[in-house]
Amino acid sequence: MSDLQLGLLGIGALVVAGVLAYNKLQEARLKRQSEQAFGSRHDDVLLGDKAAARHSAGSSERIEPVLSETPGAGIAASGMLDAGIDFIAVLEMQRAASGEAVSTAIVDCSASLAKPAIWEGYNLQTASWEPLAAVGQYERLRAGLQLVDRKGAASEQDVADFSAMVQAVAGTLGGGCSLPDSAAALKRAQQLDSLCADVDVQIGLNLIAGATPVLGTKIRALAQANGLALEADGRFHRRDETGLELYALSNMEPPPFSADNMKALSTRGLTLLFDVARVPGGISTFDRFVEFARALAEALSARIVDDNRRPLDAAGLGRIRAQLQALYDSMEQQGIPAGGPLALRLFS
């Protein structure tokens, strides 16, 4: 290789190194700017998914019981089941059955159920219902069929299949089974489904760039400065200390975000996502969500618009707020506060 070729290679290497260093400096500068713009703002900003269709067709699942290692560990005294949203069967044993024996009977007798089913055993020592534990001994069991989820209400056939299953388990274990009135449960399922259809609102606020597309490096810097992490679904997510999603940030254009494409990516728009029923905090959280959206739009020189690209001004956002307040009030009146355990089960 000649001296000229070696010299050209050296110059090329220096140019590449210079470009990489410049990119690193740009990313660091953007991150510092974003921290100054957002660092002192509210921590908990809620965002959710765009409207997901209820009652979409879903495959039936075989629900397997889960055995915990220690009976009663970390379990609330009332257990998970709730008569407001579950069709609950109670099983009485002639003699105590081990958690392992109960689990085996459930697996042997299980049918494909279209709705989630939960099994619990009564712990005499703690006087509480708990998930089945392998080392537990149970004279009383209960099983609950969830009456509603995002696919819709349980049907008469769903209740009949569940009832047949729990009766078979009771027979296998040498016990008896009592079931509530199925007609009343089906009526409750329809009422719950109507409520869920009303409050299953998922809001997307779109941020449309101005003349210049938004760079992926700037998006990443802003997201990370506000506690969001890029996840496998191609969105940045902010989660609370329990792991519950508070909000998400997605690309409006087809390419999802990924660790590999953020440097080369540019986009004309982003969407902030807010799931009304699953996020705690009610209207105050929505207020913080709107404040975050406005601050982000300012940092990106973007406009906030709805799905039809119509600008969302203070009056438009105020109308949305008023509608959400009515939905939150309805959930509270039904004993299903947004973001609570029952709401998380119903809107799953």
pLDDT tens column, 313-322: 999 999 999 9
Q: What is the pLDDT of residues 261-273, one digit of tens each?
A: 999 999 999 999 9
Q: What is the mean pLDDT of residues 58-67?
A: 43
The CATH number for 269's domain is 3.30.1400.10
Q: What is the mean pLDDT of residues 44-57?
A: 41
Is residue 235 over pLDDT 90?
yes
**Helix H segments across the chain?**
3-38, 99-109, 156-172, 182-199, 216-225, 282-300, 314-333, 341-346
Q: Does some domain include residue 75?
A: no
Is residue 147 over pLDDT 70?
yes
Is residue 215 over pLDDT 90?
yes
Q: What is the mean pLDDT of residues 9-38?
A: 46
Q: Does some domain include residue 318?
A: yes
pTM of the model: 0.72
Q: What is the mean pLDDT of residues 15-31?
A: 47
Residues 178 and 261 in one domain: no
Confidence of residue 76 (pLDDT cuts 50, 70, 90): very low
Q: Is 142 exposed, middle or buried (0-12, 13-18, 19+ CB in 10 A)?
A: buried
Contacts for 253 with CB less than 8 Å, ≥ 6 apart: 267, 268, 269
Helix or strand or coil: residue 212? Answer: coil
**pLDDT on residue 3:** 54
Domain of residue 168 covers 86-197
Q: Which residue has the higher pLDDT, 295 or 30?
A: 295
Q: Which residue has the higher pLDDT, 9 or 111?
A: 111
Q: Which residue has the higher pLDDT, 34 or 221?
A: 221
* CA angle, residues 322, 317, 291, in degrees to nearest 5: 110
Q: Does some domain include residue 320?
A: yes
- Rounded Cα gap, residues 133 and 121, in angstroms: 8
- Rounded Cα gap, residues 120 and 132, in angstroms: 6
Q: What is the pLDDT of residues 155-213, one digit of tens each?
A: 999 999 999 999 999 999 999 999 999 999 999 999 999 989 989 988 999 999 999 99
Residues 146 and 190 in one domain: yes
**pLDDT on residue 135:** 87
Backbone angles phi, psi at 19, to 5 degrees: -65, -45
Q: Which residue has the higher pLDDT, 233 or 135?
A: 233
**pLDDT on residue 54:** 55
Confidence of residue 238 (pLDDT cuts 50, 70, 90): confident
Residues 170 and 209 in one domain: no
Q: Does some domain include residue 144?
A: yes
Residues 245 and 305 in one domain: yes
Residues 179 and 294 in one domain: no
**pLDDT on residue 60:** 40
The CATH number for 107's domain is 3.30.1400
Residues 143 and 243 in one domain: no
339 Rama class: left (phi>0) / alpha (psi -120 to 50) / beta: left
Contacts for 27 with CB less than 8 Å, ≥ 6 apart: 217, 220, 221
**pLDDT on residue 288:** 85
- Rounded Cα gap, residues 308 and 128, in angstroms: 52
If one counts the domains in the chain, the total is 2
